[in-house]
Amino acid sequence: MANKIKISGSDALILSLIAEGTDVMFGYPGGQVIPLYDRLYDYKDRIRHILTRHEQGAAHAAQGYARATGKVGVCVSTSGPGATNLLTGIADAMLDSTPMVCITGQVPSAILGTDAFQEADIISMSMPITKWNYQVTTASEIASAVAKAFYIARSGRPGPVLIDITKNAQVEEVDFTYRPCTGLRSYNPKPKMNGSAAEVVELVNAAKRPLILAGQGVKLAGAEKALVEFAEIGNIPVATTLMGISAIPNSHPLFVGNLGMHGNVAPNEMSQAADLLIAIGMRFSDRVTGAINAYAPNAKIVHVDIDPAELGKNLRCDVPIHADALEALEAFKIGLKHVDRDEWFAFAKEKAEEEKHNVKGFCGEACNGFITMSQVIQKLAEVEEGDAVIVTDVGQNQMFSARYSKFNATRSFITSGGLGTMGFGLPAAMGAKVGVPQREVVAILGDGGFQMTMQELGTIMQNKIGVKILVLNNSYLGMVRQWQELFFNSRYSFTELENPDFAKIASAYDIPAKRIIKPEELEGALREMKEAKGSYFLEVAVLPQENVFPMIPAGASLSNMLMSND
Amino acid sequence: MNKEYIIVAFTENQVGVLNRITIAYLRRKINIESLKVSETSMKGISMFVISAFTTEETIQKLTRAIRNIVEVIQVSYYTSDELITQEIALYKISSKFFGEGGRIDAISRELGARMIEISPGYVVMEKTGTREEIEQLRDRLERQGVLLEFTRSGSVVLHRDSLDNILGLESGEEE
């Protein structure tokens, strides 16, 4: 890469992306990126560009790609509206620590600030939701900006970065050499472990009721194996956050379930009863803790995070460990003892039984012949046997997917955790499938979220992306409906949807499609979806009144879980 | 308890850093009382001095959030008595305060100020001092009804430690 050649800024950008290992980008052309797209035409054999149907779809697809592969996702848009359409995906990636490089076109530098056609101040707009951003106004800055962008996006706590490139910089000629960025004096993404591993080990050895809370940081650090080893050596139960799901297989005997508002009874009750919480790569979000003052009243808190701003941000912290999750988990194994904790595991089992007994799907036998969402996800888990990548939208579909899906491998559950972005599911699933084409990828969507980004069916058709699409149609914005029922006297204010025939829409995009309404059709339809070679669309009409339980009402303590409507 | 905290941050001297830092205040709805940015004696490194009223818990979290900005090299927070702090203020004072000619020098010495400009209608004085000293003079002139205009620099601060020690990247956790 060290040999100098004179090329256009657009070529420099493309060669820089290739040098960083980019093989796919999701994008949408427009006035201020036409020079870039013109050059892209000649690199079709080296970079696969996927034309989405909306820039938001490009951003979410890049996220899905990044989350499934661990690589940096790349998306491109033009200036102005193209750039502003990326913002939802960027904000989502910021909250969920997803490495992403977004490239936006910009008006020529000579007319910046003049309210030129399709000019938007995307640097200012994206500043609070990017890890870093930069405006390039000359071709000579391109290589170093891209190098810095990738380095920042993928190192430390990953996140989205944005490079805004003026049109003149895309067409100017430049002497091109590419040097990857290996460090910045103001940025220390991977510090030496700060905190005492010995102190942690001592606490763990002495604990009667310890619980590991595993977040997405475990996946981001590639620490899944180390997590399991640490848990096994110490005989410590493991719970995952929504973002941590699939970091440990569901079948692992030490796995006790998911935390949070719609998590399992056992890990939530265990958080309250624990004498030690070992939090790894998670951030004690309000969805995990419930009322923070009543959270984990008896526990000492060990908190491991690569982002020091997280330590003590939401919750008191007795032993802060500023470190990469892998490094910390390896260090925690030294001197760790296997401790029998029969009472503690019996407690976990008892709480799991309690959940089984109290949360019986929605209405058991009395569903008037309707299929329920919980049935669909449980049946899907059976059919897919834990090997599929599940990508969800947001709402009830997401919570049922988190509750009932089963996973054998990491990076298999992709969801919008922090921002809760409806419309995320379909484009993210598309990006995931592009990233891991050998794996089965299923998008689980509600009828509301599907309609926010359903134009991406066109992208799936044109690029032959073999993603499976499962729409749980209850003709409601179900999660809001649930809150209205439980907390707003069943006043269903603007949550009922009159929907089109979704299967017809999918068929119009040449995607094999089916709609089912009867419970006896369910298993056959799911198997047909699984067997389909390419993309497949299955709409399941489900019971409108089904609610997700257990549920911890917003602001309540974890000890006050609702198990049913009554 | 709300109290004045001064954040002193050393950053790369680059476009946009100021925005990123003020966004950290904005999203927590904290009003900035004064803000000064200038290049330090080290080329390419800027120093920010930002004062705001908030709680210690909030300023701790804010400091960590600012530390996470890629271009920020070092950041710490202080209460006002922990720093060598001076402000510069300019006072535009009505000529009638000085009465007959010849007394301006004496008065400016008495006020601890320096004369910058004399016009037929007013005199501009400059005073350097602590915030209290600056405020005392302002109060006195206002009480006498002779203060026409007033402007101040915001805190200009120096660490007691050397810049090399402060920025030394080996020095572990700084907060």
CATH number at residue A236: 3.40.50.1220
Residue where one domain finishes, among candidates A333, A354, A375: A354
- A285 membership: H or E segment, kind and range: none
Residue spans of the domains in chain B: they are 3-83+159-167, 85-152
Whether A308 contacts chain B with CB within 8 A: yes
Question: What ranges in A419-557 are assigned the alpha helix state H?
Answer: 425-435, 447-450, 457-463, 478-487, 502-508, 522-531
Q: Are A314 and A376 members of one domain?
A: no
Within a domain: A96: yes
Residue type, A115: D
Chain B residues within an 8 Å CB radius of A185: 73, 169
Report the sign of the C-alpha dihedral through residues A233, A237, A241, A245, in that order: positive
Q: So what's the ipTM on this one?
A: 0.90
Q: Are residues A477 and A328 in the same domain?
A: no
Query: What is the pLDDT at residue B156?
Result: 85
Rounded to the nearest 10 degrees, what angle do helices A197-206 and A325-332 cross at? 60
CA-CA distance, A390 to A441, in Å (whole number)? 6
Answer yes or no: A118 catalytic.
Answer: yes
Domain that holds residue A9: 5-176
Claim to verify: residue A221 and residue A317 sit in the same structural domain: yes
Contact between A363 and A377 (Cβ < 8 Å): no
From A388, A347, A341, A361, select the one nearest A256 (Cα to Cα).
A347
Average predicted confidence (pLDDT) for chain B: 88
A273 lies in the same domain as A419: no
Query: Any idea what the CATH number is for the domain that residue A100 is in?
Result: 3.40.50.970
* Rounded Cα distance, B98 and A514, in Å: 93
Q: pTM of the prediction? A: 0.94
Nearest to A100 by CA among A134, A65, A137, A135: A65
Q: Which residues pair with A279 in a beta bridge?
A: A213, A303
Statement to judge: residues A344 and A269 lie in one domain = yes
The answer to whether A479 is a known catalytic residue is: yes
Q: In angstroms, how far is CA A269 from the centroid of its own chain?
A: 25
Query: Which residue among B11, B16, B61 places its CB closest to the CB of A313?
Result: B61
What pLDDT score was predicted for residue A18? 98
Mean pLDDT of B147-169: 82
Are A430 and A323 contained in the same domain?
Answer: no
* Cβ within 8 Å of residue A70, ≥6 positions away: A219, A220, A222, A411
pLDDT at B171: 38
Contact: A309, B173; criterion CB under 8 Å: no
> pLDDT band at residue B102, thresholds of 50, 70 and 90?
low
User: pLDDT under 70 in chain A at which residues?
Assistant: 1-4, 361-366
Question: pLDDT-derived band of residue B174, with 50, 70 and 90 as boundaries?
Answer: very low
What order do you get walking across the sheet with A319-322 strand by strand?
A255-258, A238-240, A210-214, A276-280, A300-305, A319-322
Q: Say if CB A177 and CB A3 are below 8 A apart.
A: yes
Which of the four CATH numbers 3.90.1150.10, 3.30.70.260, 3.40.50.720, 3.40.50.1100 does domain B3-83+159-167 have?
3.30.70.260
Contact A127 B64 (CB under 8 A): no
Which residue's entry shows tokens 């796995």?
Answer: A255
Please indicate whether, in this complex, the C-beta atoms of A186 and B72 are within 8 angstroms of each other.
yes
Whether residues A123 and A10 share a domain: the answer is yes
Asked if residue A125 and residue A82 are part of one domain, the reply reads yes
Residue A124 belongs to some domain of the structure = yes
Number of H helices, E strands in chain A: 22, 20
**Spatial distance between the Cα atoms of A442 and A422, rounded to a whole number of angstroms:** 16
CB distance A36 to A13 below 8 Å: yes
Token pair, residue A250, equals 């569901």
Query: Would the pLDDT of B172 be above 70?
Result: no
Among the listed ranges A137-151, A300-314, B30-44, B154-168, which one has the minimum average pLDDT value?
A: B154-168
Contact: B64, A152; criterion CB under 8 Å:
no
Catalytic residue status for A26: no
- How does DSSP assign A278-314, residue by residue? EEES----HHHHSSGGGSSTT-EEEEEES-GGGTTTS
Is the CB of A186 less than 8 angstroms away from the CB of B64? no
Contact B68 A307 (CB under 8 A): yes
Confidence of residue B175 (pLDDT cuts 50, 70, 90): very low
Gap between the Cα atoms of A9 and A17, Å rounded: 12
Residue entry with tokens 């603007």: A494
Among the partner residues B12, B16, B70, nearest to A123 by beta-carbon distance: B16
In angstroms, rounded to a whole number, what is the distance separating the alpha carbons of residues A43 and B7?
49
Distance (Å) from the C-alpha of residue A132 to the closest C-alpha of chain B? 7
Query: How far does A192 lie from chain B, in Å, by closest CA?
Result: 9
Cα-to-chain-centroid distance, residue B56: 20
Residues of A in contact with B65 (CB under 8 A): 309
Mean pLDDT of B156-168: 79
Please tell me whether residues A367 and A495 are part of one structural domain: yes
- With 50 as the cut, is the pLDDT of residue B170 above it? no
Q: What is the pLDDT of residue A22?
A: 98
Closest alpha carbon to B108 in B143, B150, B137, B130: B137
Query: What amino acid is encoded at A203 in this protein?
Result: L
Would you state the structure tokens that stand for residue A490, as one six-digit string?
A: 């069943």
B19 and A188: CB-CB below 8 Å? no
Would residue A230 count as lying in a domain? yes
Asked if residue A132 and residue A82 are part of one domain, the reply reads yes
Q: Does B133 touch chain A (CB under 8 A)?
A: no
Number of domains in chain A: 3
Residue range B85-152, CATH number: 3.30.70.1150
Interface of B with A in 10-49 (CB under 8 A): 11-12, 15-16, 19-20, 23, 27
Residue A463 within a domain: yes
By C-alpha distance, the chain B residue nearest A316 is: B57
Residue A421, pLDDT score: 98
Query: What's the gap in Å between the CA of A124 and the closest CA on chain B?
Result: 8
**Residue contact A127–B27, C-beta within 8 A:** no
Please report whether residue A500 resides in a domain: yes
Q: Is A32 a catalytic residue?
A: no
State the pLDDT at residue B24. Answer: 97
| CA B74/CA A466 separation, integer angstroms | 49
Omega into B120 within 30° of 0, i.e. cis? Answer: no
- A342, A433: one domain: no
Closest CA to A425 of A1, A61, A42: A61
Name beta bridge partners: A434: none
User: Which is higher by pLDDT, A192 or B72?
Assistant: B72
**Are residues A365 and A350 both part of a single domain?**
no
- CB-based contact A429:A477 (threshold 8 Å): no
Q: Which residues of A touch B29 (CB under 8 A)?
A: none
* Three-class SS state of A65: helix
CB–CB contact B15 A194 (8 Å)? no
Contact A97, A57 (CB under 8 A): no
Query: What DSSP letter does each residue of A539-555 carry, written as one string?
Result: EEEB-TT----SB--TT
Distance between start and end Cα atoms, chain A: 67
- Nearest chain A CA: its distance from B89 CA (Å): 33
- The residue in chain B having the minimum alpha-carbon distance to the alpha carbon of residue A191 is B172
Which one of A127, A185, A309 has the shortest CB-CB distance to B73?
A185
Chain A residue numbers with beta carbons less than 8 Å from the beta carbon of B72 are 186
Taking every pair of Cα atoms in chain A, the longest distance, rounded to a whole number of angstroms, is 73
Helix (H) or strand (E) holding B127: strand B122-129
| Side chain identity, residue A276 | L
**Is A167 noted as a catalytic residue in this protein?**
yes
A281, A218 contact by CB (below 8 A): yes
